[in-house]
Structures are given as C-alpha cells and as structure tokens.
Amino acid sequence: MNAEHLHTASGTSMAGPLLITPRVFGDDRGFFFESWNQRAFAAALEADGQPVADFVQDNHSRSSCGVLRGLHYQLPPHPQGKLVRCVLGEILDVAVDIRRGSASFGQWVGARLSAANHQQLWVPAGFAHGFLTLSEHAEVLYKTTDFWSRDCERAIRWDDPQVAIAWPQGQAAPAPATPLLSDKDAVAPLLADLTDQDLFR
C-alpha cells in the first residue's frame, strides 16, 4: 500500500488527506487486493504524524452521472474521518480544509477514484468532503470514524467561490452544467458565512 499527499491548486502539498494506492495482483482470471488492512493503514497514518483511525461504520452510495454529494462534515464531539473508494464507475472525490488557523484553510484537494484504479482517499476530521459522479453510474463505499450525528452535521456550498473547486464534466456520460444536488446541499452556506462554532479550531 502506498500513501501520498495531494497538492492544492497552487501546487502546495496539503497535510491531512492521503491518496491510498493498494498493491493489486491481477492475471487473466481477474484481480485481488487488500481494500483495507488495519496494520498497514495505521502505519501510514503514524508515519504521517496522524492519530490512528478507528472505524465504526461502512456506508455505500449509488449515484447517477452529474450527482454531486457534499460538501459535508461533522463537528466535535462526533467528528468523522472518512476512507473513500469507488467500486463502480468514477468520481472526483474532494476534501476541503476547514481547520481555522490552518495554513491551507479554505483550500481543497481532489482525486479521481474509480473501479479501475482502486485508489482511496483518506479524509481526516477537520475537512469537508464531497464527490461528483463522472461516469454513467458510480457506487462509493466509505468507512467512517464516528456515527452520523444530526446535531454535529454541517455543510458548505459545492460552488463556494472562496474554495473554487474545479469540478469537471463527466467522461463516460455527459454531466449537466449544473450538478444534481439534494435540497439540503443546494442551500448550504458559504465558508465565509460560517461562524467559529461551525469550524474546526
């Protein structure tokens, strides 16, 4: 397993999120790989100076082309770290730094996760998370370090101009100019409108 930092739009490496690339064994019968190994993942986090993650729940979503989910996060006392992978199709998976005082506050990193590349994105607590479906359909699995909490759940706008995520169009099927959003995501606040109580410190 290889774990590496991603770079922001300005080209700087962002501390926290990690792109995980597993070792895949393939032949004419198919392939095999360890999609998660607790010891290997813990070693990658420790090598990066991050606390070891204890996962409590696995989630599975299916989305059509052009569906955008996010940008979501949870505040303490129930912050969520997420380990995300795409097992059908392709997505752009994004993490936004919402740690007040961080050198990369308000900046984003992203990776194309797909059933073909088997890569995963580790999104630690302190980051908002979202993804856009680029293929005709996509199925996304992600582990979380805490349970969903209505009181702790927050979101920021997918098209926040301060964050300025470069969302692409779909490849396998044409994505709409405006992504398909939930009612809640469509009215999420801008980062600049959030209070200190809505951010990580």
Does residue 114 surpass a pLDDT of 90?
Answer: yes
pLDDT-based confidence at residue 9 (cuts at 50, 70, 90): confident
What's the whole-model pTM score? 0.93
Please choose, from the candidates 70, 42, 74, 68, the residue with its C-alpha nearest in 3D space to the C-alpha of residue 55: 42
Q: Is residue 72 among the annotated active site residues?
A: yes
Q: Hey, which bits of the chain come out as E strands? A: 2-4, 18-21, 25-27, 30-32, 57-64, 68-74, 82-88, 90-97, 108-114, 120-123, 127-133, 137-144, 153-155
Does residue 120 surpass a pLDDT of 90?
Answer: yes
Q: Where do the domains of the chain lie?
A: 2-198
**Which one of the listed residues 5, 72, 78, 129 is annotated catalytic?**
72
Does residue 170 surpass a pLDDT of 80?
Answer: no
Does residue 61 surpass a pLDDT of 70?
Answer: yes
Q: What is the pLDDT of residue 10?
A: 86
User: What would the CATH number be for the domain defined by 2-198?
Assistant: 2.60.120.10
Percent of the chain surpassing pLDDT 70? 96
Q: Is residue 73 among the annotated active site residues?
A: no
Q: What is the pLDDT of residue 178?
A: 79
Does residue 172 surpass a pLDDT of 60?
Answer: no
**Which one of the listed residues 73, 118, 129, 142 is annotated catalytic?**
142
pLDDT 10s digits, 144-161: 999 999 999 999 999 999
